[in-house]
Amino acid sequence: MRSPLTAADAKMIDLSIPVESNSPSEPWTPEIEYWDHEVGGDKLAENLRESGYGENLSHEDFPDGKGLAWEEITAIIHTGTHMDAPWHYGPESEGEPSKTIDEIPAEWCRGNAVVLDFTWKEPRTEISAAEIDEQLEELNHDLSPGEIVLIETGADKLWGTEEYLTEFPGMGAEATKHLVNQGIKVIGIDAYGFDKPFVEMGERFAETGDNAELWPAHLAGREAEYCQIEKMANLDKLPRRTDIPLVAFPIKVKDASAGWTRPVAFIEE
């Protein structure tokens, strides 16, 4: 049987959202400056002039008077669909120096995905280890090391609105460690964050003074080494819940806490 990863007739399903400016769904919205072919050509010409090539060079000297279009982005690396590395969670993981995104083994980032349905769960609540097991039982599926677990909340349908930041359930620390202890190295979610929304964690901390309310699922990575993919999308478009070939390689940014990622599922036609 041909692998859907190499089959020419396999259907690919994009599970990412874009990096875009001025979105109410991004509290730290990226700034993107777009340079069209004329402006891009002038910038390239300026570089050549400064290097001593062509005193009067401009975009008009390019074929058709057009150079190369390009952009300049100012953004945190946690904008858009991205993978968090263990370094994001703390300086150590499982008693060893935490891996940065450029140190993540490529083998972690491809495998068969399992989608767990939490679209029924109330926003701002926390997903438990018992609820993880209940969903796996409904699927009649036992996890295997190297699988990639995807948490479907349905929050991606709110992308482009302020509600995207607040109306989703998040993973708890025990649920996260429960998955990692079964050999899961990558967990994805189709919501803004992996934990409960910022506002919910803030309210709980203000009420209790308990710092265990602050990013508990992230900080579980200090005890259990794993990566998480945040801001995924289109999990509802997957035709099945298990055995989904998936690739999700992050951009290698040296010594960084995360890298932009475009997860793609492959389905046999």
Per-residue pLDDT tens over the stretch 16-73: 999 999 999 999 999 999 999 999 999 999 999 999 887 888 999 999 999 999 999 9
What average pLDDT does range 233-259 have in this prediction? 98
Q: Is the pLDDT of residue 181 over 90?
A: yes
Q: Which residue has the tokens 């190295």?
A: 185
- pLDDT in the model for residue 126: 97
What average pLDDT does range 180-192 have in this prediction? 98
Per-residue pLDDT tens over the stretch 73-119: 999 999 999 999 999 999 999 999 999 999 999 999 999 999 999 99
DSSP category for residue 114: E
Domains belonging to the chain, first-starting first, are 11-24+76-267 (3.50.30.50), 31-74 (no CATH)
* Residue-wise DSSP of 150-212: EEE-SGGGGTTSGGGGTSS-EE-HHHHHHHHTTT--EEEESSS-SSS-HHHHHHHHHHH--GG
Share of the chain above pLDDT 70, in %: 97
